[in-house]
Copies of this chain bind each other. A is one copy, B any other.
Amino acid sequence: MSAIRLLVLGAVRQRGRAHGYQVRNDLEHWGAHEWSNTKPGSIYHALKQMAKQGLLVAREVAPSTVGGPPRTEYEITDRGTQEFLALLREALVSHDEKMDALSAGIGFIVHLPREEAVALLKKRVERLEEWRRSVTDYYAPEGGPGQFGHIGEIMHLWVHSADAGAEWTRGLIDRIENGAYVFEGEERVHASTPAPPVSSLES
């Protein structure tokens, strides 16, 4: 999974209706161009591809209000919303996704109900622990450590990053369980912190 579909679907969904340039600007505004592959080409390609697959519908629109080339606007379909949620869940649980997918997932996490967010993050921790086990099992066979020479350092790195990832995830679970942020279907009732809603993402 790459992060771009999740990001583009999420951007279109928040706008209700958007053309490529708006999506591009939104993503840039979120800083996404610094940590993910959100080049113009990728965005326009994703839009076209997802329209072809029925996740978006294209509405042809006359030349831009302020002049410039004509543009195509898109809206998300029901299937697109399903896909968005599926990608979001996947991004949150799977450890092998790169940082870009996870970052995007966190960005959209409040679009899920609080309980589900917590459940997914707990699953993430499980997956990380499982992965850690599989690495250490492979790393410490008969013959003791040191079998692998400097290659052992790679496994060391993986274990280290699995631990760090699990620790961060546990911290996030705690904060969410203690009422931080405003999730889907809530209206600030949980907010023990004066954290703003998604509005910091928009505009």
Contacts and interface: CB of A to CB of B under 8 A. Distances in A.
Given A198-B152, A201-B151, A168 B161 contact: yes
A84 interface: no
Nearest to A100: B98
A63 interface: no
B146 A106 contact: no
A168 B157 contact: yes
Interface stretch (A2-10, A39-47, A70-78, A189-197): A189-197
**A interface bracket (residues with beta carbon within 8 Å of B):** 35 or more
Given A164-B161, A201-B139, A181 B99 contact: no
A103 interface: yes
Given A146-B195, A157-B102, A200 B164 contact: no
B136 A156 contact: no
A52 interface: no
Interface in A119-173: 136, 139-140, 144-161, 163-165, 167-168, 171-172
Given A98-B98, A107-B151, A161-B99, A168 B156 contact: yes
Contacts of A195: 144-146, 149-150
Given A102-B157, A154-B107, A157-B106, A146 B200 contact: no
Contacts of A98: 98-99
A23 interface: no
- Leading 7 A-B pairs by shortest Cβ distance: A146-B195, A164-B164, A150-B181, A160-B168, A149-B195, A152-B198, A149-B196
